[in-house]
Amino acid sequence: MSAVESIDAELTELLRARGQRVTSQRLVINRMLRSRDQHVTAEEVLGAVTQTLPGTSLPTVYATLELFEQLGIVRRLNSGGGAVLFDSRTVDHHHAICRDCGAVQDIDDPAELSGVLQAARDAGFAPDRAAVVVDGLCAACAAAS
């Protein structure tokens, strides 16, 4: 099986398990996310798939990304500037986000956040997970300033 075929097969299995239809839009958007392996906006996804799927609209892309989030194959990342990014890397990790250019860098560190989660529970919140966002300047912006 080629890489694309196994990516398609994986998504097909997940969708069928949830009683969801397998559509070409879902397959193509998933392929794009797996091939980029980085943090993308819905607009970037639309721009990348629009050649393959000319009829695709932004609301369809958002709906697909939300479905992928429910399937656990994409995570939503609220960056400081208000843009919502979608992360195809679903293992626990943290992010450093540049306040100037918006660049996002994965940060891998086994940060001990159980105290944060407990404080959230104490406040009556039912947390899914906790992750750290480091604010500041990326290397390029820090060098230019």
| Element counts in the chain: helices (H) and strands (E) | 6, 6
Give the single-character DSSP code of 130.
-
What is the nearest approach in angstroms of Zn ion to the Cβ of residue 69?
14
- Binding residues (CB under 5 A) for Zn ion: these are 87, 89, 98, 100-101, 103, 106, 138, 141
> Cβ closer to Zn ion: 54 or 72?
72
Candidates 139, 74, 56; CA nearest to 105 is 139
Short-list 27, 33, 63, 54, CA closest to 45: 33
For the CB of residue 18, give the shortest distance to Zn ion in the complex, in Å: 24
Nearer to Zn ion, 10 or 106 (CB): 106
Nearest approach in angstroms of CB 57 to Zn ion is 26
What is the smallest separation between the CB atom of 36 and Zn ion, expressed in angstroms? 12
Say which amino acid occupies 17.
A
Contact 71, 64 (CB under 8 A): no
Please, which residue, 53 or 93, has the CB nearer to Zn ion? 93
Q: Which is nearer to Zn ion, 67 or 131 (CB)?
A: 131
